[in-house]
Structure 1
Amino acid sequence: MNYKICLITVFLQWTVATTSNDPLLVQLPFGTLRGRDDGAYYSYEGIPYAEPPLGKLRFEPPQTYRQKWCGVLDASPQPKLCMQWDQLTNGTDKLVGVEDCLTLSIFKPKSSKRRSFAVLVHIHGGAFMFGGSNKAPRPSFMENGSFILVSIRYRLGPLGFLSSEDASLSGNMGLKDQRMALKWIKQHIVHFGGEPEHIVWMGFSAGGASVHLQLLQADAQRLAKVAFSMSGNALDPWVMQQSARFKAFELARIVGCGKLGSSAQLKRCLQQQPAEKIVRAVAQLQVFDYVPFNVFGVVVESKQAPAAFLTQHPRDIMNRTCAIKLPWLVSYANEDGAYNAAALMQRDANGVELIEQLNNRWFELAPHLLFYRQPGLSVKQMDAKSLQLRDQYMGQQNFSRQSYLDMQRMFTDVLFKRSIEQVTKLHRKHCKSPLYIYNYNIPTDLGAGVILSKRTDIAFGASHAADYLLTVDASARPLRAAEIIVSRKLKTMLEQFVYSKQSSLSYANCALPNNVGRQLFQLVSIRNSSCSIQQVKQLP
């Protein structure tokens, strides 16, 4: 009886939605939803794309959303973050978010000039551990009716990336969430006025690495036209999780599962534990402040795992064949290493900067900070690596406020920039699809430097997120006039990228050169009021 009533209600909703001129009402196969009017655009938030990953669905691949709404879904409230141990939350208890979080947000520009729009899919960053897409986009990025913006929420930390490195608990659930969301967008964005044939994937930091990993999937060409990895790719040394099985059993011990004989027992016990207890255990797996910043990340899965997402290392995939068929833009900020270096410029309770601790603890902490603490390396080998890096970047200097920028440069090179060179070499070895690069070098107080250090007395330069915070995330301060101009130029660049038949693009008057078929690295350098095209042996 209830089922019949639901069918009647859905039919009535469909009749209202298809005859109403109310732009806030959208009819989907699941029912009708109502968004909100945000001035320059309409917002539809908290739209489920998968079944809630609760109970026995915890640590399982996402399940297709099959529910029907018997009333109008209120898509106006701001959605909650996926549960996480959040680096940016002040205090000792960094737990935020909810476990039932597999939703997305859609922001549709108001325009009298067009009825349909290209689609920008945003995958947020946060080292696969924290972050979220519950922030409003920049008005300067949404104005003039350019893109429908879709932001995805996916499982994070142990709930999204715990792995026993076998088929019982394979890991990468957060990436599988993203994949289901990308398929949902391709199928349903037309109901919001989106153009399924003009989809660009854009990810920042871990989101950029996620875009790279999604591009390695065989059906990527059917789901997007072009892609953009901003300050992150899958070959960054922090992306692939080390010692995943050990960490999974150690977390189980911390939450009280006791001695376990198998991965299946591990999974059953953790499925019965409160999610909050599992996520809070992250703190006991970190060694210093929020270090390492990705306790749980991407793994190579067993080929026997159900719905396996990644069964080879990304480097091996790219080295074997042309795995990426879509035009791809990758970028880095000149001082990306402000993440996580700037966190060391915080002061402790006595007013002493955390960086000072490196003078006595460098050999202990460096492998965690720069991600070469690996099972295959001996302590002697790691110490040699630590010594080499310190000598190369710091010389005879102590770690201090005065030498901080030299340390930040080390973090930039090791954690972000070197991998772009590796990716470019592998891509042009096998592929014909275009690969473009830009370097963002506009110094600003936006970005990871100020956010992590909680200080404004240090010139961090163009730090991690400096360009990102001009686009889809308006959580930082309002933009200044010069920043609004840059924001609009970035938006125009992406418009050109997704609509161009040749998938070419320009920033202002600088056409980004394709790296395929070239010996030197080809890039555009973006500076305060100008840009320049560069051909270099080593990325600047």
Structure 2
Amino acid sequence: MYCAKLILLLGCFWISSSASDPADPLLVDLPNGKLRGRDNGNYYSYESLPYAEPPVGDLRFEAPQPYKQQWTDTFDATQPPVSCMQWDQFIRGDDKLAGNEDCLTVSVYRPKNSSRNSFPVVAQIHGGAFMFGGASQNGHENFMREGNLILVKISYRLGPLGFVSTGDADLSGNFGLKDQRLALLWIKQNIASFGGEPENILVIGHSAGGGSVHLQVLREDFSKVAKAAISFSGNALDPWVVQQGGRGRAFELGRIVGCGQASDSVTLKKCLKSKPASEIVSAVRNFLVFAYVPFTPFGPVVESPDAPEAFISQHPVDIIKSGKFAQVPWAVTYTTEDGGYNAALLLEEQASSGREWIVDLNDRWFDWAPYLLFYRDSMTTIKDMDDYSRKLRQEYLGDRRFSVESYWDLQRLFTDVLFKNSTEISLDLHRKHGKSPVYAFVYDNPANTGIGQGLAQRTDINFGTVHGDDYFLIFENIVREPQLRSDEETISRNFLKMLNDFVLSENGTLAFGTCVFQDNVGSSKLQLLSITRNGCENLELESFP
């Protein structure tokens, strides 16, 4: 069904064979009319371009509909993208509501480079645990300074508005993933109007964006919209990406916002559509057991096979084993201390007691661990849950107590369970069941400040190379200082060259600096590239270090 719709949309979209008007590069023709962008010195920007009808009213909790409105006046493409409505972990205080429900846009950034008439394209899917974040959360000045690639940032629905699901055909979920899919289709069909090369599109994302990229790759028709993909610190097998228990959360959401004890999905959906979006999103606070835990109460699900336009109707493991996914070059990554998200928040001192959350973990481990590590809904019995919690604590801490002194062991647990282990499993499955190149790298080079310090609200702890320390060298982020060290400048340039060469490669070759990635497909051992401040090195491993 989804494939048939894709072919229909490919036929319906108007394709431009030329870029913007050479006499006025800020003016661009699209099927909807003319738009005018902004001159930013070394690049042009065309922001907040709608790719879908506003997902409001009757279109809330539905698959996105292609944008069809016609502009009688020149569309103002100088306004930065608004974030989709969200309960944002990184807003301090009790009220974390931000963004708008009408938010489905793409933003295009084109370099000024007189040496070329067209550019390969990088489409970016932002992170934020499927709950928060936005196209503007990561900067693009470093990216545009190189002048070789067009960048397109995608906005998509988040939290309950993007992912609430009752597990049946009536409220299927994955609306945010379907948004991403339609945006990628828009890019494929319209990017030539901006000087982009529709045959050279690389899709990348970080964290939930990385998980999203992998989920997009797991659709066979992804090869119709992109040439290659990279998932930074997030993939479809991470335990927080595709979760169980969505139906219970959907009906609990209805109860919280005043839908009573809705007896069926149709009734629940009708009621939820009648409620203010702000009430639905603010209800997220009721699903958090403390602080922002769990960090993904609403995220991707396996949809019912009879759901209209289902995005995935099998678990990612089963999709990979079937071999029925897009055969495009794909890379997956992690950092040595990725688990700093969300472990570092346990070092924040509570306002009421001045005590760190990690100290309370000694008495609350069996209550909190299933939420912190996302096995609350995947275990059959409470005993199974407690046994697993006990096993994890014993393996990583032994008989020691949770404390600031034992934080690094806890962070290692988070890294392994939430990121590293599933990266290895994904790599192993793809090398066994895929045909196109599959690559991996691990990054170990701590930033001076990063997500760890931001979550813990303290600077006296060494967090190592945490979540985002690599990706934020490509796209600036407010959690780290804007000034890069000299070693980071070199790595940043190598990353940008890596993206450029990857999207242009005819055989899917991937390289970083002086190192050429080794393909895992057909390899008896895991091929992992290690990137540090001193350079890069190819490793052959039985398992990840």
- Decide whether the 8 Å contact of 1:117 with 1:145 is kept in 2: no
- Decide whether the 8 Å contact of 1:322 with 1:430 is kept in 2: no
- Decide whether the 8 Å contact of 1:444 with 1:462 is kept in 2: yes
| Alignment match of 1:513 (pick from 515, 518, 522) | 518
1: distance between equivalents of 2:65 and 2:454?
A: 36
TM-score, length-normalised on structure 2?
A: 0.94
The alpha-carbon distance between structure 1 residues 362 and 376, as it changes in their structure 2 partners (threshold 3 A), is closer
- Decide whether the 8 Å contact of 1:445 with 1:460 is kept in 2: no
- Decide whether the 8 Å contact of 1:170 with 1:308 is kept in 2: yes
| Alignment match of 2:194 (pick from 192, 199, 203) | 192
The aligned counterpart of 1:464 is 467
Q: Answer yes or no: is 1:440 the counterpart of 2:443.
A: yes
The alpha-carbon distance between structure 1 residues 491 and 375, as it changes in their structure 2 partners (threshold 3 A), is closer
Which digits, 9 at most, give the CA deviation of each residue in 1:106-159, with x for residues without a partner?
Answer: 111111211111100000111111111114634332223211000000000000
Gaps of 5+ in 1: 1-13
1:351-362 aligned at under 5 Å gives the runs: 351-362=354-365
35-44 vs 294-303, greater mean Cα deviation? 35-44
- Decide whether the 8 Å contact of 1:160 with 1:171 is kept in 2: yes
- Decide whether the 8 Å contact of 1:346 with 1:354 is kept in 2: yes
| Alignment match of 1:266 (pick from 251, 268, 273) | 268
The aligned counterpart of 2:144 is 142
Q: Answer yes or no: is 1:490 the counterpart of 2:495.
A: yes
- Decide whether the 8 Å contact of 1:81 with 1:133 is kept in 2: yes
Displacement after TM superposition at 1:474 (Å): 4.2
Gaps of 5+ in 2: 1-15
Residue type at the aligned position of 1:391: Q
Displacement after TM superposition at 1:19 (Å): 5.8
2: distance between equivalents of 1:307 and 1:322?
A: 17
Displacement after TM superposition at 1:338 (Å): 0.5
1:198-347 aligned at under 5 Å gives the runs: 198-347=200-349
- Decide whether the 8 Å contact of 1:446 with 1:469 is kept in 2: no
1: distance between equivalents of 2:38 and 2:319?
A: 43
The alpha-carbon distance between structure 1 residues 424 and 19, as it changes in their structure 2 partners (threshold 3 A), is closer
2: distance between equivalents of 1:212 and 1:250?
A: 29
* Percent identity for Structure 1 against Structure 2: 54
Residue type at the aligned position of 2:362: N
The aligned counterpart of 2:70 is 68
The aligned counterpart of 1:527 is 532
- Decide whether the 8 Å contact of 2:424 with 2:544 is kept in 1: yes
The aligned counterpart of 1:501 is 506
Q: Answer yes or no: is 1:382 the counterpart of 2:385.
A: yes
Displacement after TM superposition at 1:494 (Å): 1.2
2: distance between equivalents of 1:269 and 1:62?
A: 20
The aligned counterpart of 2:420 is 417
- Decide whether the 8 Å contact of 1:370 with 1:414 is kept in 2: yes
The aligned counterpart of 1:53 is 55
505-514 vs 466-475, greater mean Cα deviation? 466-475
State the secondary structure of the residue aligned to 1:290.
coil
The aligned counterpart of 1:106 is 108
1: distance between equivalents of 2:521 and 2:288?
A: 41
The aligned counterpart of 1:5 is none
Displacement after TM superposition at 1:18 (Å): 7.0
Residue type at the aligned position of 1:130: F
Displacement after TM superposition at 1:44 (Å): 1.1
The aligned counterpart of 1:10 is none
TM-score, length-normalised on structure 1?
A: 0.95
1: distance between equivalents of 2:291 and 2:142?
A: 36
| Alignment match of 1:478 (pick from 468, 482, 492) | 482
State the secondary structure of the residue aligned to 2:249.
helix
- Decide whether the 8 Å contact of 2:379 with 2:385 is kept in 1: no
Residue type at the aligned position of 2:530: S
Q: Answer yes or no: is 1:172 the counterpart of 2:174.
A: yes
The alpha-carbon distance between structure 1 residues 272 and 108, as it changes in their structure 2 partners (threshold 3 A), is same
The alpha-carbon distance between structure 1 residues 375 and 227, as it changes in their structure 2 partners (threshold 3 A), is closer
